[in-house]
Amino acid sequence: MAGLEKVLEIYEQIWALNYALALIGWDSETYMPEGSAKERGEVTSVLETMKQRLYISQNLLSALEELEESAESDVEKGIVRVLRRTIKYYTAIPADLVKKEEKVVNEAKIAWRRAKKEANFSLFAPYLEEIVEINRKKAEYLGYEDHPYDALLDLYEEGATTRELESFFDSLIPPLERELKRILSSGWPQDHPLEEAPYREMDMETLNREILNLLGFDWGLMRIDRSAHPFTEGIGLYDVRITTWYHGKDFRRSLLATIHEFGHALYERQCDPKFWKTPVCGGVSLGIHESQSRFWENIIARSRAFASFLSPIVKHHLGIEASPDDLFYYFNLVRPSLLRVEADEVTYNFHIALRFEIEKGLIDGSIEVKELPSLWNQRMEEYLGVVPPDDSLGVLQDIHWSLGAMGYFPTYSIGTVVAAQIKEKMEKDLDLENLIEKGEFGPIREWLRERIHRWGAIYPPKELLRRSLGGGPDPEAFLNYVRGKYKW
């Protein structure tokens, strides 16, 4: 049997376990009865161990070696690359560190929730110390060339390095600070009465469904539910699920979350079916994934053309009279604020730059956990001119660190920037504005499929960007987008 067939025969079991784990993960966030979490946790842990064993099995390793020698096509090389990455992770990190991480994270999640509720960082600080320590060790085991943070970044964005991201934020943040000052002093709206407009959840759900229909949601293979925080779960190529949220007012939040998750889902769904049941089926990295969600959320749904398209639909389903102009400004308020998840597209990247600096410093030891609250507040004031009144609106706001994740945040800014690059490139081929205004999203989906989605994970993110967009992430594209959009 040829190397590829052997590898895929073993991988089929991993694929099936991944499918089961994803379905279980989706259910845990949507329909699982509250009291079932403990039993569910044990099932997940058994399945994870089975998967890990398959990855490091001698069978797979010898088949992979054989494939490595004979691999000629991009697909075969991609399969080898993706498998090698996962195997490296499972073999480099010793089992006792994994066990320790599981234990710390279990306790840290609870401590973080309590600390956040009581706005008391000191309740979470000892756990964060341990999480930083675990991540430092992980970096040592995984190895890096230049900075220990590189090893962690690579887990979420293959090939990303500290040095590259430093230069990325150096080209992005200072000009963006100037843009923000300009926008704020120009009298651009910072708030809007529609933020207070109430809706009935039933109506909002119908509106979300109608918009998904128009965007091209495939109801035969996709579904939408609700959860505490919106997310997408690509269970398989033929089962992709999204969730959204409802707040009873400020319909923009529910709608934009729905459209954001649609972008993630479409990326998963439009992978070349030839890659089905292989390790290269699905999105290549978190940054590229986020570029797809941000493209639909920011570039499409926050455009003037979309506001025109949306105005009659909002009136029909929510009974809210809002002119295209109303909707455009309501969707594009620029308001320096405390919370990352509520930030607009102009101020968003400052929140990420702050987290990047902090994570890098924690990992290389130049920042200590105990300094975080004051450092956080000081940087928020410098970047955005706002100071959190307490730690729950400051350093404790995100769940990521409590889950042990360090190196994740920068992928949000990579995605935001790449989305603007996609717009630039797409406009050379399509009359984007006209298509959006008419609600013709087919050519847009097709463009994304052809350039980005169909390739799955066969190329590393930077290589994919080079092939599909000529390079990147390129902060200049995002800055141009901001300069063009936010002017009266």
Listed residue (212, 89, 97) closest to 156, CA to CA: 89
CA 288 vs CA 28, 88, 165, 269: distances in Å: 26, 22, 15, 15
Contact between residue 133 and residue 437 where contact means Cβ atoms under 8 Å apart: no
Listed residue (23, 158, 136, 25) closest to 88, CA to CA: 158
**At its nearest, how many Å lie between Zn ion and the CB of residue 261?**
7
Residue 297 backbone zone (phi > 0: left; psi -120 to 50: alpha; other: beta): alpha
130 is catalytic: no
**At its nearest, how many Å lie between Zn ion and the CB of residue 54?**
29
**At its nearest, how many Å lie between Zn ion and the CB of residue 264?**
6
Contact between residue 373 and residue 387 where contact means Cβ atoms under 8 Å apart: no
**At its nearest, how many Å lie between Zn ion and the CB of residue 260?**
6
User: What is the identity of the amino acid at 202?
Assistant: M
Contact between residue 305 and residue 437 where contact means Cβ atoms under 8 Å apart: yes
User: Which residues contact residue 380 at a Cβ distance below 8 angstroms, ignoring those fewer than 6 apart?
Assistant: 338, 354, 386, 387, 388, 394
Q: Which of 261, 268, 297, 345 is catalytic?
A: 261
CA gap 27, 131 in Å, rounded: 27
Residue 84 backbone zone (phi > 0: left; psi -120 to 50: alpha; other: beta): alpha
Beta bridge partners of 232: 242
Give the count of beta carbons closer than 10 Å to the beta carbon of residue 389. 11
Contact between residue 482 and residue 346 where contact means Cβ atoms under 8 Å apart: yes
Instruction: Please enumerate, as own/partner, the contacts of 159-164 that have beta carbons within 8 Å and a separation of 24 or more.
Output: 159/460, 159/461, 159/462, 160/287, 160/410, 160/414, 160/461, 162/360
CA gap 346, 183 in Å, rounded: 9
Helix intervals (H) in 385-459: 410-429, 432-438, 442-451
Interface contacts to Zn ion, rule CB under 5 A: 293
User: Which residues contact residue 403 at a Cβ distance below 8 angstroms, ignoring those fewer than 6 apart?
Assistant: 105, 108, 109
**At its nearest, how many Å lie between Zn ion and the CB of residue 485?**
21
- What single DSSP character describes residue 198? B
Structure tokens given for 23: 């379905």
Structure tokens given for 382: 């410098």
| Active site (catalytic) residues | 261
